[in-house]
Structure 1
Amino acid sequence: MTENPLNVVIVGGSLTALFHGIVLRRLGHHVRILERNTPSQQMSLGAGIAAMEHVQSFMRKYDETKTPYSVTSPDVQYLDQAVKVKSTWNFSIATTSWKILYYVMRANFDGFASDICAQPPQLAEQQGSATYEHGKEVTGVEYKDGLVTVKYRDTGTDSHATVHADLVIAADGASSRVLQTLQPHLQHKYAGYVAWRGIAPESEISEKTKATFACKATFFVYKGGYIVLYTIPGEDGNLSPGHRQLNWVWYNACPENSQEYFDVMTDVDGHRHRTTLPIGKVNPQNWDKQKALALKILPEPFAEMVQKTSKPFISAINDREIAKPSLFDGKLLFVGDALATFRPHVASSTNQAALDAQLLEQLLKGEITAAEWEAKVLAFANFTAVRSELWGAYYMSGVPTLIFVTTFFRYWKTVAVQALWRRLYG
C-alpha cells in the first residue's frame, strides 16, 4: 500500500470519476476532479442506467448516505405488435438515473448537498481531501521526473494553468481528450445505427400503458431495430409508484453515408455530432419525423411513450479499440469509457466504471500487482465489448446473418481464451 498520501488529478467529472475519487479519498489521498462541462451542460448528458452487480457492490461498500437509488424490474418481457407478451425472462434488473447516482456520489465524494442528498455525510479529514471543479478543460498531459503534469483551460475565463500530480486518472469518457492525445492510433467505427432516447413522467402515462409495462423491462423487436423501456426513479429521486419515470431507448438502423444519418446527427445550430446529440439540441423537424415513425411501427404503449417525451437526445453507436490501461510508469490510468466503450445493449458502462474503481483500491492496497490490475480491467473490457457487439448483431441484424455468426464465434473465442487464462494464472 502507498505509504504517503498521493496528489491525484482525475480528468472528467462523471460517474467514473466519482467512483474513483471516492475510493482514493477514503484511502487518504488528495483528489482533484477537473470537469470540462458546466453543471447545466453536464445534466443534459444524463439518462437512465442499469445498476448491475459491480455498481451494487460499490454502493453497498462506499455509499454512506444510504439513499434509495434504484427501481427493481422483476422480469424482462418481450411484446409483439399486438401488445401480447411473446416471452418473459425471469431476470431482475435494478435501474436508476445518471442524475441520482451523480448526486449520491457527489455527497460521498465532497459533501455536495442537493435535492437528492440534502444532508450529505460528514467527511473525515483523515480520509484525504476532495475538490470538484467545473469548467476545467484538460488540454494536455506530460510526464517528467516521476510527476505527471496536467495542463488545463478555464472555459469561463479562457485562462490556462497546470497542476502536478503523483497519479492521474483519465476518466473523461468515450471521447477522452487524454486518450486522443496519447493513444491517437486507436480505431473508431460507427456500428450503423443510432439510439433515440427519452424519459417521460409516470404521472403523464395512461393507466393502460402503465399496466402493460408493469415496472418490467420491456422490449419490442422488429426488422432493423428495437426499443426497450424500463422504470427509473423520479426526477427528485422518488421511488413511489406514480412519481417515477419511464426511460426508453429506441435503436434505428441508419447507414453511415446516408443523408438520414447526416440529418439526424446535425443539431438545431447546424453542428454535426459524432457521438451524442444532447438534450435541447435535437432538430424539431427530425423529432417530429421520429414521433410519426413511432405511431406507424411501434406498439401503442411504446408509441405513447415517445409522444409523451419532451426532451429527447440521440447517441450514435460506435465501436472503439480498447486502450492501453496504463502509461507513464503506472502514473496515468485509463478507466471506464476512456478505457473501453461498449454498445449499450448490455448496460455495462457504469458497471465497468464501478469495477475499475474497486480494482484500483486493490491495487493501491497492494492486494494485486499493477500487471494483475491491468489484466483484470482488460479481461472485463474485452469480454464485455464483444458481448455488446453480439447482442447488437442479434437485435439489429438477426441470427441467420453473417455479422451475427462472425460475432458469435468471436464471442466464444474470447470466452475460451479468458477461461484458459484464469485456469493458468488464477
Structure 2
Amino acid sequence: MSPHILVVGGSIGGLFVTTLLQREGFDISIRERSIHGLDGRGAGLVAQREVFDMLREIGRVDLARFGVTAKERIYLDRTGAILSRQSMPQTQLSWDTLFRTFRAMIPSERYQGGVGIERVERDGAGLILRHADGTGERADLVIGADGIGSRIRAAVAGDESRPRYVGYATWRGLVPEAAMPAAAAETLFERFAFYEMPGSHILGYLVPGADGSVEPGRRRYNWVWYRRYSETELSSVLTDADGKVHPFSLAPPQVPRSAVERLHADAADLLPPAFAAAVLAEPRPFVHAIFDYNAPRMVEDGVALLGDAAFVARPHTAMGVAKAAGDAFALRDALVRYPDLPEALAAYERSRLDIDRAVVAYGVRLGAALG
C-alpha cells in the first residue's frame, strides 16, 4: 500500500516533490501556512542543471525561454565608471512563473493553505502532524519542505539545531523597468552589474516581469545589496512597522518607512550613481538576514527534510532552487526503488547529505569577505 504522505511547505521545494510523487501514484498532499498564497514573492533565479531537469521531467522545457539574459558582467567603481567587464551570458528565469506552473499541477484539494503546522508527534500508531489550532492528522511520511524557519526540522535534528546568522543581510528591490531612470538603465540593463566596497557589495540584473513577461518595458530590475549588521543591529533591522521583531526577514509591507528612508540615504552616500538610482526607485524594499545551516541528518523515523529545511546555503551560490530540485528527485527515486519506507529514507539521506553539505560550504567560501 502506498504511504500517506503530507508535505509541510507549499513553496518551490514542496511543489517539486509533490509533483514528482503524485506522478508516481503516491497519496500526497501539501499543507502551507500562508493564507494568501506565495505567487508574486519571487524574483529571478539562475536555472542550474537540476531546474532544467525538473522542467524536462514535466514536459515544460519551453519555460526556459521565459528568461532574461544578461550578456556580460560589469564591475563599477564609486563614480559609476566600468572597471572591468567579462563576457559571461547568464539567463534569469522567473520564480513566479516556475511557482505558478508547478502549483497548477497540484489538484486544489491536495494543496491546503492557511494551515499552520507546529510540530510532528509520534505515538504507537505512527506520526501525527499537529496543527497550530491543536488539531492533528496522521501520516505515514512527513516531508518538511518548510524552509529556513522549519517547524518540522526539530523532529529530525532536535530543538537546538537551528540556522546560524553569519553577520550580514541583504536588502532587495524589484523595480519595474519603466520606473528606472534612463541613465541608470543605460548602465545596468542587459548586464549583470556589481559594485564592491569593504564589507559590502551590491549587484543587479533584469528579471522577467511579475506576469513572466520578458518583453522590453515589462521586465523588472532586481538589485541585491549585502550589508553587515551585528546581532544587536539585526534585531533593529528585522523590526517591522508594528514593532515586532522577526527572526529571518521582512516582506515589503512590513519594512518601516524610517528604515526605507535610511536605506535610500545610505544608497545616495555610498553607491555609484546607477545603483543609487535603482535603490531609490524602489519604495518598498525587503530584507533577508543570511544564515548557514547544516542538518546533522535528513531523516528520522518517518520524517524527511528537503530544501532549506535541511540545508541553508547563502544566496551567493544561486543554488537554492537547484538544491531543492535535487532533493526532490532523490526522494522520489528512493521511494520508488525501495518499498520499505525506512530503507527508502535511508537511501535518500545517503544520496544527498554530502552534496547538500558541499553547497553550504561553497556559500561560506563565497561569502568570506562579508561574514
Normalised by the size of structure 2, how large is the TM-score?
A: 0.91
Q: 1:262 maps to which residue?
A: 235
- The alpha carbon displacement at 1:370 in A equals 4.5
1:75 Cα offset (Å): 2.8
Question: Counterpart of 1:61?
Answer: 57
| Superimposed CA distance per residue, residues 69-106 of structure 1 (whole angstroms, 9 cap, x where no aligned partner) | 42232333222223233233443333234322211111
SS in 2 for 1:78: strand
Identity %: 30
Match of 1:354 in 2: 325
Matched, 1:131 2:110: yes
User: Aligned equivalents of 1:100 and 1:342: distance in 2?
Assistant: 23
Distance (whole Å) between structure 1 residues aligned to residue 326 and residue 257 of structure 2 = 39
Closer, same or farther: CA 300–314 of 1 in aligned 2, 3 Å: same
TM superposition shift of 1:45: 4.8
Q: Does 1:190 align with 2:172?
A: no
Q: Which moved more, 1:90-99 or 1:204-213?
A: 90-99
Q: Distance in 1 between matches of 2:163 and 2:60?
A: 39
Give, in whole Å, the separation in 1 of the partners of 2:66 and 2:325.
15
1:92–1:363 distance in 2 versus 1, CA, 3 Å: farther
Within 2, Cα distance between the matches of 1:102 and 1:316?
23
Residue of 124, 138, 149 corresponding to 1:164: 138
Q: Which amino acid aligns with 1:96?
A: L
- Give 1:380 shift: 1.9
More divergent stretch after superposition (227-236 vs 96-105): 96-105
Q: 1:240 to 1:272 in 2, by over 3 A?
A: same
CA deviations on 1:254-308 (whole Å, 9 max, x unpaired) are 1113xx4332211100001121111201011111011011011111111111111
What is the alpha-carbon distance in structure 1 between the residues aligned to residue 43 and residue 155 of structure 2?
28
Q: Could you list the runs of 5+ residues in structure 2 that have no partner in the other structure?
A: none
Q: Kindly provide the amino acid, as one letter, of the partner of residue 225 in structure 2.
A: W
Take 1:344 and 1:23, find their aligned partners in 2: how far apart are those partners?
25
Task: Choose 269-278 or 204-213, whichever is displaced more.
Answer: 204-213
Query: Could you give the per-residue CA deviations for residues 12-65 of structure 1, whole angstroms, max 9, x where no partner exists?
Result: 11111000010011111122100011125x457544332222112211222549
Alpha-carbon distance in 2 for matches of 1:268, 1:28? 46
The answer on whether the counterparts of 1:323 and 1:334 sit within 8 Å (CA) in structure 2 is no
Secondary structure at 1:94 match in 2: strand
Q: Which amino acid aligns with 1:108?
A: M
Matched position secondary structure for 1:5: coil
Rounded Cα–Cα distance in structure 2 between residues aligned with 1:107 and 1:65: 16
Work out the CA distance in 1 between the residues paired with 2:252 and 2:235.
18
1:331-342 pair list within 5 angstroms: 331-342=302-313
- Which amino acid in the other structure matches residue 15 of structure 1? I
What TM-score does the superposition give when structure 1 sets the normalisation length?
0.80
Stretch deviating more after TM superposition (212-221 or 341-350): 212-221
Letter in 2 for 1:276: S
